[in-house]
């Protein structure tokens, strides 16, 4: 619309340098505002403890005949890893919406810098925040007795897949945060993302759900992601269809989130 884009393309070193500078800014902001990160890590940890200790015994018995708490733990950890990523989206949306209210964004726009690096800085910061949270959740799961059977290749695949999911959730949340009218509404939009892992195969097998819900669960993006992640972590080989769908969804959402975010960022206010 009334946007100005920089017609002269900055050279590659400038793009890299500006992105690195903005990444530094993103990480600094995370460190200065740790309560958000702590909240984002805390929620999945509390839920993990609740699910495993309060519900785990019964759910484990329903999962496999004669099963118990440890069987449920083995089943549910991938779900919690994804829940961690999904809930971090809220932090990304809040962070970017908060940033947009700061006058410094207007300053960045009047400077001869690689403009999208402002957003890339946020995205890289979010990736670091996500992986820190994932490590904490995984650490708690290990302390509870979770023992994944994945080999080096399986771990590599799992980390790669998680990175894709993190990027997808991050860019989508960024678009939601940029499009929000205020910081408050920015924190609401990605909440739906937090529900999605529950409405899939993350916490109970989809076969146990009522028809309509099951239909939704089987087709929503988190289910193939979850199945692929679970297969990788248990040392198995993920189904080609699930893996393809998982990667496809991620790439699609990353593309949409990135383009939408760029558009919203350059829009005049």
Q: Which is nearer to other proteins, 32 or 181 (CB)?
A: 32
3-state helix, strand, coil in the chain (%, to 5): 75, 0, 25
Both structure tokens of 133: 């949270």
Enumerate binding residues for other proteins (CB under 8 A). 2-8, 10, 14, 17-18, 21, 24-25, 28-29, 32-33, 102-104, 106-113, 268
Q: Which is nearer to other proteins, 147 or 267 (CB)?
A: 267
Q: Which is nearer to other proteins, 19 or 220 (CB)?
A: 19
Q: Which is nearer to other proteins, 29 or 260 (CB)?
A: 29
The string of DSSP letters for 56-103 reads: HHHHHHHHSTT--HHHHHHHHHHHHHHHHHHHHHHHHHHHHHHHHTST
User: DSSP letter at 182?
Assistant: S
Cα separation, 115 vs 127, whole angstroms: 20
Cα separation, 131 vs 260, whole angstroms: 24
**Shortest Cβ 262–other proteins spacing (Å):** 16
**Shortest Cβ 100–other proteins spacing (Å):** 12
Both structure tokens of 154: 């399986």
**Shortest Cβ 119–other proteins spacing (Å):** 15
Closest CA to 214 of 229, 204, 227: 204
Q: Which is nearer to other proteins, 123 or 254 (CB)?
A: 123
**Shortest Cβ 17–other proteins spacing (Å):** 6
For the chain, the first-to-last Cα distance in angstroms comes to 10
**Shortest Cβ 176–other proteins spacing (Å):** 22
**Shortest Cβ 96–other proteins spacing (Å):** 14
149 touches 50 (CB < 8 A): no
Q: Which is nearer to other proteins, 3 or 153 (CB)?
A: 3
Angle at 151 between CA 57 and CA 141, to 5 degrees: 30
Q: Which is nearer to other proteins, 10 or 67 (CB)?
A: 10
**Shortest Cβ 15–other proteins spacing (Å):** 12
């Amino acid at each position: 619309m009334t946007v100005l884009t920089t017609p002269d393309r900055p050279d590659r070193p400038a793009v890299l340098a500006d992105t690195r500078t903005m990444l530094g800014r993103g990480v600094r902001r995370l460190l200065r505002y740790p309560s958000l990160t702590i909240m984002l890590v805390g929620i999945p940890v509390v839920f993990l403890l609740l699910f495993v200790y309060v519900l785990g015994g019964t759910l484990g018995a329903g999962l496999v005949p004669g099963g118990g708490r440890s069987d449920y733990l083995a089943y549910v950890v991938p779900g919690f890893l994804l829940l961690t990523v999904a809930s971090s989206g809220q932090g990304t949306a809040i962070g970017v919406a908060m940033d947009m209210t700061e006058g410094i964004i207007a300053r960045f726009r009047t400077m001869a810098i690689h403009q999208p690096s402002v957003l890339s800085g946020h995205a890289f910061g979010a990736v670091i925040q996500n992986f820190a949270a994932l490590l904490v959740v995984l650490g708690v799961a290990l302390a509870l007795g979770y023992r994944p059977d994945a080999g080096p290749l399986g771990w590599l695949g799992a980390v790669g897949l998680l990175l894709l999911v993190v990027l997808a959730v991050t860019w989508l949340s960024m678009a939601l945060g940029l499009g929000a009218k205020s910081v408050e509404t920015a924190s609401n939009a990605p909440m739906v993302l937090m529900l999605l892992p529950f409405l899939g195969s993350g916490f109970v097998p989809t076969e146990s759900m009522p028809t309509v819900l099951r239909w939704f669960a089987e087709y929503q993006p988190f289910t193939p992601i979850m199945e692929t992640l679970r297969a990788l972590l248990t040392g198995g080989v993920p189904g080609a269809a699930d893996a393809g769908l998982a990667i496809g969804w991620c790439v699609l959402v990353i593309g949409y989130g990135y383009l939408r975010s760029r558009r919203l960022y350059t829009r005049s206010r």
